[in-house]
Amino acid sequence: MSFNEFSGPVPHSIANFTMLQHLNFSYNKLNGSVPNQGAFRNLSATSFLANPGLCAASGWLNLPNCTSSDKNHDALNTNILLVASISTFFALCCILGAFYIFYRRIKRAPIIDSLFGQGFMQISSQELHKATQGFSAANLLGNGSFGSVYKGLLSDKKLVAVKLFDRDPQNSYKHFVRECRVLRKIRHRNLVKVLSSSSAGDLRALVLEFMSQGSLEQHLHRAELQCSLSLKMMVNIALDVAHGMAYLHHDCSPPVVHCDLKPSNVLMDETMTAHVADFGISRLLMSPVSASSSTSRLKGTTGYLAPEYGLGGEVSTKGDVYSFRILILEMVTKKRPIDGMFSGDNTLPRWVRSAFPEALEGVVESGQRAAG
């Protein structure tokens, strides 16, 4: 420790270093008293050479005797260190407290504000109320697990779909944030495009492209629309959905698992191009083969959810592949996987498999009869 221009008192805590044998404080600018207890008993006069400000009791280590002023100086230095330490501690607490409050206020902002960056429309909650006529039932397009979708007409005469999340403080924000995180990362012609978002008070909404031709479910199961899908159109819709899901699984970083692929979440625009929608329960994968969380709280749709998810298995792209398989079978047979004819061990996939290949034509024909 010698020749280091150290200043201030000798730390009295050194007395507690019971294994200390040698220590050299010489040629510094130390001041105050040197104790004669504990480890200091192992030191010699050469340990404190050329420190004019040092003193000791009764000529200990050949140092000058400490006067009352020296002791007061030691006490003053100790008090200064104590006050400085306490002040630093409280200052640190204040800084951490201020940071925590600031973080609490803005933790939602990075996700929400990111949707208002370059390329996104700026829409206020007041304009959304006006565009949907106060979210009136007349503009309701459909209901989902976590909210409702309304048709809206903006001030520039642009038609949009406004997804209003349920005003449930425990769940709505979580699903709103999840959908924002996914939608801000993806850009594909077969995925519904987000135009903007709004979060004011307890109102949380996403502004999406308006799909004028409704959902695939409507075309499959509504009597007035059932005859509108030709075989060529169904093949094109299946390809559109496959392209969108392939993009989520293989071209996004990290990959995205939709977790709720079904006909009601496949929407068609004016050209009957299919777009996958509703990312409220989607998951971002940490790696191509495993998810960031298990399915213990995954709420998918009965009939479309992969069987392994019911056992708490990890979310994976294979689950979406299973849902896509059910969606294709439903398109061909016009049978929902929860149709009354399916009970016990009899499921939509098993029904089709049992008819393959000899009786497959009857399965398809039954679907066409349901459509006609």
In a domain, 130, yes or no: yes
Which of 155, 177, 210 is the endpoint of a domain? 210
Residue 129 has pLDDT above 50, yes or no: yes
Burial per residue of 147-160, b for 16 or more beta-carbon CB atoms within 10 angstroms, e otherwise? bbbbbbebeeeeeb
What does the pLDDT average to over 76-99?
75
Is residue 330 within 8 A of residue 320, CB to CB? The reply is no
How many structural domains comprise the chain? 3
Q: Are residues 340 and 372 in the same domain?
A: yes
44 and 64 both lie in a single domain: yes
**Is the preceding omega at residue 307 within 30 degrees of 0, hence cis?**
no
Q: Of 57 and 297, which is predicted with more confidence? A: 57
Q: Which of 66, 7, 18, 9 is closest to 40 using CA atoms? A: 18
Q: What is the pLDDT of residues 249-283, one digit of tens each?
A: 999 888 999 999 999 999 999 999 999 998 888 88
Which pLDDT does position 320 carry in this prediction?
Answer: 94
Task: Specify whether 272 is located in the same domain as 332.
Answer: yes
Please determine, for residue 166, whether its predicted confidence score (pLDDT) is greater than 70: yes
Regarding whether 113 and 47 lie in a shared domain, the answer is no
Position 109 confidence tier, pLDDT thresholds 50, 70, 90: very low
Query: pLDDT tier at 152 (50, 70, 90 boundaries)?
Result: very high
Same domain as 267, residue 191: no
- Tell me the mean pLDDT in the region 328-333: 91
Residue that the structure tokens 């792209």 belong to? 317
Residue 187 maps to a domain: yes
Answer with the residue of higher pLDDT: 143 or 233. 233
If you average pLDDT over every residue of the chain, what do you get? 81
What is the secondary structure of 173-208 as a DSSP string? HHHHHHHHHHHTT---TTBPPEEEEEEETTEEEEEE
Over residues 133-150, the mean pLDDT reads 87
**Which of the residues 70, 74, 240, 260 is marked catalytic?**
260
How would residue 225 be classed by pLDDT, with cut points 50, 70 and 90? low
What pLDDT shows up at residue 222?
Answer: 81
For the chain, list the strands marked E by DSSP.
7-8, 29-33, 53-55, 140-143, 147-153, 159-165, 194-200, 203-209, 256-257, 266-268, 274-276, 283-287, 290-291
Q: Among 27, 53, 87, identify where a domain stops.
A: 87
Among residues 185, 210, 235, which one ends one of the domains?
210
Within 8 A by CB and 6+ apart from 329, the residues are 335, 337, 348, 349, 352
Q: How confident is the model at residue 298 (pLDDT cuts 50, 70, 90)?
A: low
The CATH number of the domain where 168 resides is what?
Answer: 3.30.200.20
Mean pLDDT confidence for 69-80: 58
Instruction: Reply yes or no on whether the pLDDT at 90 is more than 70.
Output: yes
Question: What pLDDT shows up at residue 290?
Answer: 44
**pLDDT (0 to 100) of residue 250:** 93
Residues 218 and 338 in one domain: yes
The set of long-range contacts for 113-119, using a CB threshold of 8 Å and a minimum separation of 24, is: 114/180, 114/184, 115/180, 115/183, 115/184, 115/194, 115/196, 115/197, 116/196, 116/197
Q: 202 an active-site residue? A: no
What residue numbers bound the domain in which 251 lies? 214-372
Indicate whether 81 and 156 sit together in one domain: no
- Other C-beta atoms within 10 Å of 263: how many? 21
Whether residue 357 has a cis bond before it, omega within 30° of 0? yes
Within a domain: 95 = no
Q: Are both 165 and 227 inside the same structural domain?
A: no
Q: Does 369 fall in a domain? A: yes
Q: Is residue 174 located within the same domain as residue 248?
A: no
* CA–CA distance, 155 with 157 (Å, rounded to integer): 5
> Are 245 and 295 found together in one domain?
yes
| Domain of residue 298, CATH code | 1.10.510.10
Q: Can you tell me the mean pLDDT for 339-354?
A: 85
- pTM for this structure? 0.64
Question: At 35, is the pLDDT very low, low, confident or very high (cuts 50, 70, 90)?
Answer: confident
Task: Give the CATH number of the domain where residue 33 resides.
Answer: 3.80.10.10
- Whether residue 167 is contained in a domain is answered as yes
- 353 and 301 housed in the same domain: yes
More confident site: 357 or 351: 351
Q: Which residue has the higher pLDDT, 52 or 336?
A: 336
Q: Tell whether 199 and 303 lie within a shared domain.
A: no
How far separated are the first and last CA of the chain, in Å rounded?
96
In b/e form, how buried is each residue of 83-118, taking b as 16+ CB within 10 angstroms?
eeeeeeeeeeeeeeeeeeeeeeeeeeeebbeebeee
Assigned domain for 152 exists: yes
Q: Is residue 197 part of a domain?
A: yes
Q: For residue 144, is it within any domain?
A: yes
CA distances from 208 to 72, 150, 195 (A): 74, 10, 5
